[in-house]
Amino acid sequence: MRLILLGPPGAGKGTQAQRLVQRHGIVQLSTGDMLRAAVAAQTPTGLIAKDIMASGGLVPDEVVVSIIADRIEQDDAKNGFILDGFPRTVPQAEALDALLKKKKLKLDAVIELRVNESALLARVEKRVAEMLERGESVRADDTPEVLSKRLANYREQTEPLVHHYSDKRKLITIDGMMPIEEVTAEIERVLAAVTKADETTQAAKRKVAAKRAASPSKAPKAAKKTSSKGAKAKVKSKAKSKARRVVKKATKKVAKKAIGKAAKKVSKSSSATRGGSKKKAAKAAGNRTGRAAKAVAGRGRKAAKKVAKRRSKPAKRLTKRR
Ligand code: AMP
């Protein structure tokens, strides 16, 4: 499972992330924690981040994006992760989209913890008091002045991510003002629904793939193409053979007429021709008859082509509309 926890400072992201880690066996990737570790270790990243963090500003996008790109590559993140405090700007979200796409990883949900801003200051003050009680060192950016700057940054730079992820149909908003246990229960309830919906989609996809594998001839696109091509050819050849039959009939009729006429002429000329044999006259008449038949056949072929063309036109229109 891959999740993003979205919410202003003090919304309870850290607390809920730890509960998700225990329940789902996935890792919490908090850019705030990683940057604090870098500051403590005085790494080059830590040196860049130190003053920015202390003043409540945002560390440059390219720095945090490269930290996350390296971190999700590690073995413990293979099972899934919860991003806590990242992304915080639209460019960071876009970089994450590209990163996940490149690695063919799916984001399951973005959980937004919505809280009342006026309640946040009280929450942070309570957190500071509890840390001091436990003898822990207090974060340099957990003061009222820095907190108001972090809140302003959230409103301006991070809140637009609500639209980014709701456009992608990934956003789930939960009332972060409820008691911690209720927030946890609500997160678990929506995650169960997300998992179930995902399983249903996967099962439907497998069913379609199995159906296609069982009868490849029913592959929709190819079938459409083949059937439309086949239908077109069928109509064309039917029209052609009908036209041929019509022409043949007409040719026979004309030839018969011509032969009759020629025969009459032959009988006339044979009686008139001195020395000319009946056979010769008949041959001449036959030649004339043959020429007439040929001419008719020629015209007939042209007609046949025309008819075939006309007949094939509706078929063309039919396939186009489809
Ligand atoms: P957090 O612990 O999430 O409240 O983060 C503490 C501080 O670390 C922030 O106020 C920022 O200065 C810096 N930081 C953490 N995550 C990011 C991020 N994704 N982009 C920029 N700065 C960050």
Residue ranges per structural domain of the chain: 2-210
pTM of the predicted protein model: 0.67
Tell me what pLDDT residue 126 has: 85
- Which tokens belong to 14? 């850290």
Tell me the three state secondary structure of residue 106. Answer: coil
- Which tokens belong to 29? 């990737």
Fold (topology level) of 2-210: Rossmann fold (3.40.50)
18 Cα–ligand 1 center, Å: 18
Tell me what pLDDT residue 292 has: 41
Q: Are strands 81-84 and 2-6 parallel, antiparallel or unpaired?
A: parallel
Annotated binding site: 10-15, 31, 36, 57-59, 85-88, 92, 127, 139, 150, 178
Tally Cβ neighbours within 10 Å of residue 57. Answer: 15
DSSP character string of 180-226: HHHHHHHHHHHHHHHHHHHHHHHHHHHHHHHHHHH-GGG-HHHHHHH
Tell me what pLDDT residue 293 has: 42
Tally Cβ neighbours within 10 Å of residue 259. Answer: 17
Tell me what pLDDT residue 216 has: 72
Tell me what pLDDT residue 24 has: 94
Tell me what pLDDT residue 287 has: 46
Q: Is the CB of 161 under 6 A from ligand 1?
A: no
Residues 6+ positions from 219 with CB-CB distance below 8 Å: 212
| Residue ranges in the chain modelled with pLDDT below 70 | 217-322
Q: Where are the alpha helices (DSSP H) in the chain?
A: 13-24, 31-40, 44-55, 61-71, 90-102, 117-133, 144-153, 161-167, 180-214, 220-272, 278-321
Q: Is the CB of 239 under 6 A from ligand 1?
A: no
Which residues are annotated as catalytic?
13, 88, 127, 139, 150
Integer Cα distance of 184 and 19 in angstroms: 8
Burial class (CB in 10 A: 0-12, 13-18, 19+), 287: exposed
Tell me the three state secondary structure of residue 8. Answer: coil
> Which residue minimizes the CA distance to atom 8 of ligand 1?
32
